[in-house]
């Protein structure tokens, strides 16, 4: 049977424009998708947009457009950004698409038929001038968080999901599957939340209309989270599964930010249990970015716009920085100085120099033609062993979504390559005709190191991986690791040109 892998990003709200926070989640998923593909998996990689709900309805009204017009406009910005960031998603779902609405209604009906959805009453705080319901926690000193006027407690008819029924089953599942919710600290948070008791969940609203109607009762629209979470299976064609995608790919690995963990680790699994479906393989909640030490917000005018960063520094530099700078799972701070420092030291200096020195020396000593290697010395064996060990390590690190550690392991290889140059001193060997075979071995090992570095760096930095690979005479579009990750893949006799600098240094005043 073919190995398959299904990874998802959250679907992004269209009432905001994309910023580095969104780019971060999507990039992480892209690295996983590319890595798994390189390892021979058939990959489904889903992203998309969350387009229903009161916020979108209100934002559209304020702009004098329909909610769908607003969504159409913002969706283009997300799609353009993903293209620019080299995101390799295989599907893009919009919750306003028919295929999605269909699945949500089918899911609602199935759970209702089982008796786990019932009609009841929901009590909330209502702001009459704004015509908006607020939950107790949303209120500011008891007043409407939008206009500041007093609110009144009102009852609203609502459908409820019998979430309470699944409390024990969920606890048991989390207990039996230690890797289901990651990182561990987050898992503990969820465990204590569930242990405190799950209440039934209101899953419809009658106070606004921009949403998917509840089947058989048009007065109600389905609550945004019941709608949104279902995207992960509607994109696979559930329940009909005409193309067999659900059968092939479900369950998924969900990558999300820490703010939406409860929805993914409590609501979503219990919906799935009620529908009799397997639970996700993993829910990983990453941390949040601040900017130069402050929370990113429109009012502070410090929202970091990824388009601008890519134009200025290049796509691979941004991809590298975001995943290298902060352990996935922890909060991090974005600063231009940290970004420039990484570009100059890790990319221009370490990686860039290794590539340019190695290819330049091959040009100088062997006219750019890769020689046949001779007998290995201990220093060669050590280098080769390090590559084998770190490739295995990286596989495990990516399994744990430790992107920064995986990058450190790759940079260990790059440093080892630079150190190998310093220690073998090819320029000295080149002066001695007796050392011609030794020089050939050294040059072969260096260029072979570059081949493996290109393949393993490619999921993180696809353009760079392809550039180095093509330089070595390989097909820059085939960056498979599967079957190509053993030492000795480069063919002697290959012509390799001197590389142009991969990453220009960024000068700062």
Of the pair 25, 418, the CB lying nearest ligand MSP is at 25
Q: Both tokens of residue 208?
A: 């606004």
Q: Shortest Cβ distance from residue 13 to ligand MSP (Å)?
A: 4
Q: Shortest Cβ distance from residue 34 to ligand MSP (Å)?
A: 20
Of the pair 212, 260, the CB lying nearest ligand MSP is at 260
Of the pair 260, 398, the CB lying nearest ligand MSP is at 260
Q: Which residues bind ligand MSP (CB under 6 A)?
A: 10-13, 16, 21-22, 24-25, 50, 228-229, 231, 256-257, 259-260, 288-289, 296
Q: What is the rounded CA–CA span in Å between residue 266 and residue 271?
A: 9
Report the length, in residues, of the chain: 509
What is the CB neighbour count within 10 angstroms for residue 482? Answer: 11
Helix (H) or strand (E) holding 333: strand 332-334
Of the pair 12, 210, the CB lying nearest ligand MSP is at 12
Per-residue 3-state assignment (H helix, E strand, C coil) for 2-20: CCEEEEEEEEEECCCCCCH
Task: Specify the long-range contacts of residues 433-439, CB closer than 8 Å, at least 24 apart.
Answer: 437/374, 437/375, 438/374, 438/377, 439/365, 439/371
Of the pair 122, 328, the CB lying nearest ligand MSP is at 328
Helix (H) or strand (E) holding 273: helix 268-274
Pairing of β 282-286 and β 253-257: parallel
Output the CA angle 10-13-19, nearest 5 degrees: 85
Of the pair 106, 227, the CB lying nearest ligand MSP is at 227
Q: Shortest Cβ distance from residue 300 to ligand MSP (Å)?
A: 12
Q: Shortest Cβ distance from residue 382 to ligand MSP (Å)?
A: 40
Cα torsion 300, 73, 145, 52 to 10°: value is -140
Is residue 476 within 8 Å of residue 466, measured between CB atoms? yes
Of the pair 249, 366, the CB lying nearest ligand MSP is at 249
Please state at what angle helix 353-366 crosses helix 462-471, rounded to 10 degrees: 10
Cβ-proximal residue to ligand MSP, closest one: 257
Q: Shortest Cβ distance from residue 21 to ligand MSP (Å)?
A: 2
Query: Shortest CA distance to 263 belongs to which of 328, 203, 314, 326?
Result: 203
Of the pair 255, 452, the CB lying nearest ligand MSP is at 255
Q: Shortest Cβ distance from residue 410 to ligand MSP (Å)?
A: 23
Q: What is the rounded CA–CA span in Å between residue 199 and residue 192?
A: 14
Q: Shortest Cβ distance from residue 227 to ligand MSP (Å)?
A: 9
Q: Shortest Cβ distance from residue 229 to ligand MSP (Å)?
A: 5
Q: Shortest Cβ distance from residue 95 to ligand MSP (Å)?
A: 9
Q: Shortest Cβ distance from residue 431 to ligand MSP (Å)?
A: 54
Q: Shortest Cβ distance from residue 245 to ligand MSP (Å)?
A: 18
Of the pair 296, 480, the CB lying nearest ligand MSP is at 296
**What b/e string do you get for 347-360 counting C-beta neighbours within 10 Å, with b at 16 or more?**
bbebbbbbbbbbbe
Q: What is the rounded CA–CA span in Å between residue 89 and residue 194?
A: 33
Of the pair 12, 160, the CB lying nearest ligand MSP is at 12
CA 414 to chain centre: 25
Of the pair 231, 424, the CB lying nearest ligand MSP is at 231
**Listing from the earlier edge strand, what are the strands of the sheet with 132-134?**
132-134, 117-127, 152-161, 201-202
Q: What is the rounded CA–CA span in Å between residue 355 and residue 377?
A: 23
């Amino acid at each position: 049977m073919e190995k398959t892998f299904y990874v998802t990003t959250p679907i992004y709200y269209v009432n905001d424009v994309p910023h580095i926070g969104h780019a971060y989640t999507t990039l992480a998923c892209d690295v996983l998708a590319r890595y798994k593909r390189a390892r021979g998996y058939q990959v489904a990689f889903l992203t998309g947009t969350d387009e229903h709900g009161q916020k979108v309805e209100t934002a559209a009204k304020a702009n004098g457009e329909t909610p769908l017009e607003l969504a159409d406009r913002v969706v283009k910005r997300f799609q353009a950004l993903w293209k620019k960031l080299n995101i390799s998603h295989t599907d893009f779902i919009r919750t306003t698409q028919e295929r999605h609405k269909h699945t949500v209604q089918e899911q609602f009906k199935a759970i209702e038929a089982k008796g786990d959805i019932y009609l009841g009453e929901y009590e909330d705080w209502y702001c009459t001038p704004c015509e908006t319901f607020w939950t107790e926690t949303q209120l500011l000193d008891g007043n409407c968080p939008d206009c500041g006027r007093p609110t009144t407690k009102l009852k609203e008819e609502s459908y409820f999901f019998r979430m309470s029924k699944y409390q024990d089953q969920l606890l048991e599942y989390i207990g039996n599957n230690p890797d289901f919710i990651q990182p561990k600290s987050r898992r503990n948070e969820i465990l204590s939340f569930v242990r405190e008791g799950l209440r039934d969940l209101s899953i419809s609203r009658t106070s606004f209309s921009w949403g998917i109607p509840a089947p058989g009762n048009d007065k109600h629209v389905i609550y945004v989270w019941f709608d949104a979470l279902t995207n992960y299976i509607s994109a696979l064609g559930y329940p009909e599964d005409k193309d067999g995608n659900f059968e092939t790919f479900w369950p998924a690995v969900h990558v999300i930010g820490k703010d939406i963990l409860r929805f993914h680790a409590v609501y979503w699994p219990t919906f799935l249990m009620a529908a009799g479906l397997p639970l996700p393989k993993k829910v990983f909640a990453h941390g949040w970015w601040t900017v130069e030490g402050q929370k990113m917000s429109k009012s502070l005018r410090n929202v970091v716009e990824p388009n601008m960063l890519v134009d200025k520094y290049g796509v691979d530099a941004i991809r590298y920085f975001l995943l290298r700078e902060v352990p996935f799972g922890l909060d991090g701070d974005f600063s231009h100085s940290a970004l420039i420092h990484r570009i100059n030291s890790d990319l221009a200096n370490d990686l860039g120099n290794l590539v340019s020195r190695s290819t330049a020396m091959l040009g100088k000593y062997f006219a750019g033609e890769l020689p046949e290697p001779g007998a290995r010395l201990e220093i060669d064996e050590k280098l080769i062993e390090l590559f084998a060990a770190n490739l295995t390590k990286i596989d495990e690190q990516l399994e744990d979504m430790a992107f920064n550690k995986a990058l450190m392991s790759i940079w260990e290889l790059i440093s080892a390559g630079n150190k190998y140059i310093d220690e073998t001193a090819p320029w000295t060997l080149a002066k001695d005709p007796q050392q011609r075979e030794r020089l050939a071995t050294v040059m072969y090992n260096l260029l072979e190191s570059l081949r493996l570095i290109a393949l393993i760096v490619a999921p993180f930095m696809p353009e760079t991986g392809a550039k180095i690979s093509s330089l070595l005479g390989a097909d820059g579009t085939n960056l498979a690791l599967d079957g190509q990750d053993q030492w000795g893949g480069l063919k002697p006799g290959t012509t390799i040109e001197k590389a142009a600098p991969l990453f220009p240094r960024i000068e700062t005043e």
